[in-house]
Amino acid sequence: MSECTHDCSSCGEDCPSRQMKPEDFLEQPHAMSHIKKVIGVVSGKGGVGKSLVTSLLAVLMRRRAYNVAILDADVTGPSIPKAFGIKEKAVANEFGILPVETKTGVQMMSVNLLLEDETQPVVWRGPIIAGTVKQFWTDVIWSDVDFMFVDMPPGTGDVPLTVFQSLPLDGIIVIASPQELVSMIVEKAVKMADAMNIPILGLVENMSYALCPDCGRKLQIFGESHIGEIAKKHDLQVLAELPFTTALSGACDRGAVELFEGDWLDHAADVVEGLLS
């Protein structure tokens, strides 16, 4: 047998990599962790509101009296602590790393909770970033979590692949915006999930519209939405269409996302809650 080059076209049928099943890559969580359901929040590109949706879903599920956690896998662009107004740093004891808790009790781990200066850039290569994400799963003590949301980095590269292979995802939610270009990129994320046999819970469109302050009419800033077409093509449901709203963006900027008001993601929260039934 020739040496494995990680290019399957050069390998024989007896290559160990060809013999491995997806579950062979799964990492075990910390021995003291207890996590029921893990949901990935993904996007094919950056800047579409993935971290926003992650934060809002965590807040909604906490309001429903579930124990909730956020694993911030977007190591080079962590924004979750900022949205929750978290300033303190994560600490460790002899057993492992302890997640930081928000004001309402959402457990959280992010690279910004480990850096002395939250504005310090993370200039790491892909394998180191992927290893850090694994450590957030294996070395952090997650206490009695009903729902863990994993805020994924954009795209279909090393870190999303690491999460798909290493964490036992019960489903993913794909985030998009209305531009036609994004439609193509959303399909890439959907097809990656299909290839990895990860269930897709549905699609969320962010920045879907703005409400006219005078007449209340919906204004489609980015033009006509294509989210329904993508959902129909892949037999998926649209979980939510989030509007532009300065109140929500302002709450995140102030670190007060836990105070947001709005019912846009209620159906998405229902679908997530259904994973326990």
pLDDT tens-digit series, residues 15-26: 554 444 556 689
pLDDT of res. 104: 97
Task: Please give the Cα distance from 78 to 9 (Å, whole number).
Answer: 36
The per-residue pLDDT for range 192-205, each reduced to its tens digit, is 888 889 999 999 99
The per-residue pLDDT for range 129-139, each reduced to its tens digit, is 889 999 999 99
Q: Residue 19: in which H helix or E strand, if any?
A: helix 16-19
Contact 218, 211 (CB under 8 A): yes
pTM score: 0.88
Contact 231, 203 (CB under 8 A): yes
Q: Which residues of 231-269 are buried (b: 16+ CB within 10 A; e: fewer)?
A: beebebebbbbbbeeeebeebbeebebbebeeebbeebb
Instruction: Judge whether residue 142 has pLDDT over 80.
Output: yes
